[in-house]
């Protein structure tokens, strides 16, 4: 982490209201702090490798997780800030690897050149939706565990007001009156005419915090009820989808 942040004042290429950016000579490394988005970006120039110059000692998942936890601790992100795995309650990390296959001496050789760890933010123990709004991060490690890329969206949050939680009956009325949004309708399915729907069977219900879609983050973080349901259309056909509905009353 210290090496990643080791830039000089001469390498500063931007310093303004939107953040601070550092660029090393030859574009070998770039570090950006973009304040309005709570975004830290770090990239390194890709090093050309070949079958006679293989990438060595890329960390395995366990090693990459240990490195990730150390970095998060250094930037002030606690374990309680991370989205949890539903099966065991531990922070939910997703792992990705980059590989190149070479044919050398009549044998195929697989060379691992990077390992990435992705994670999502949680607020009050609930999942945060909206990457650019400050809800997730990914750190990529290369040879000998060196950081090659990092994207971290983690905006500061401040509580606004406390509202009463809507009752199940109220949420049901809101869905009937069109105050909910349906997601995940397959392209080969027609839009739902809620006036003709016969039934809605909720299979799973979660609370999520919504902070806007990538590219258009909101300044507000809004709690929603995320309902995984089966909807029976007027013609008897059914469709499985996610329904997102407000979960708080407007009156404080």
- The CATH classification number of 9-153 equals 3.30.310
**pLDDT over 60 (residue 251):** no
**pLDDT over 70 (residue 187):** yes
DSSP string, the chain: -TTTT---GGGEEEEETTEEEEE-GGG-EEEEEEGGGTEEEEEEPPPP-BTTB-------HHHHHHHHHHHHHHTT--GGGBPBPTTT-SB-EEEEEEEEEEEETTEEEEEEEEEEEEEEBEETTEEEE-IIIIIEEEEEE-GGG-EEEEEEE----------PBPPHHHHHHHHHTT-SEEE---TTSPPP-TTS--EEEEEEEEEEEE---TTS--S--EEEEEEEEEEE-TTS-EEEEEEEEE-B-S--
So where are the chain's domains?
A: 9-153, 168-246
pLDDT single digits (tens) 119-172? 999 998 898 887 677 789 999 999 999 999 999 999 888 888 888 889 989 998
Instruction: Determine the average pLDDT of the residues in 40-57.
Output: 87
pLDDT value for 252: 45
Give the global pTM.
Answer: 0.85
Lowest mean pLDDT among 71-75, 126-130, 237-241, 244-248: 126-130
């Amino acid at each position: 982490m210290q090496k990643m942040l080791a830039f000089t004042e001469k390498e500063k290429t931007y310093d303004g209201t939107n953040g601070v950016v550092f660029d090393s000579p030859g574009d070998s490394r770039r570090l950006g702090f973009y304040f309005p988005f709570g975004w830290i970006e770090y990239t390194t120039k890709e090093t050309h490798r070949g079958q006679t110059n293989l990438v060595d000692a890329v960390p395995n998942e366990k090693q990459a997780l240990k490195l990730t936890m150390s970095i998060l601790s250094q930037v002030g992100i606690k374990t309680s800030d991370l989205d949890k795995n539903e099966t065991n309650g531990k922070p939910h990390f997703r792992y990705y690897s980059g590989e190149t296959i070479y044919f050398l001496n009549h044998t195929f050789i697989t060379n691992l050149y990077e390992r990435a760890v992705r994670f999502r933010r949680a607020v009050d123990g609930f999942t945060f939706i909206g990457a650019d709004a400050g809800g997730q991060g990914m750190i990529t490690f290369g040879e000998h565990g060196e950081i090659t890329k990092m994207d971290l969206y983690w905006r500061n949050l401040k509580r606004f007001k406390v509202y009463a939680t809507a009752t199940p009956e109220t949420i049901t009325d809101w869905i009937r009156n069109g105050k909910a949004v349906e997601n995940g309708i397959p392209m080969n399915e027609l839009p739902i005419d809620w006036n003709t729907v016969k039934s809605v069977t909720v299979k799973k219900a979660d609370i999520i915090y919504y902070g806007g879609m990538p590219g258009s983050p909101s300044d507000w973080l809004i709690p929603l009820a995320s309902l995984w349901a089966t909807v029976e259309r007027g013609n008897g056909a059914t469709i499985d989808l996610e329904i997102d509905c407000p979960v708080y009353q407007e009156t404080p």
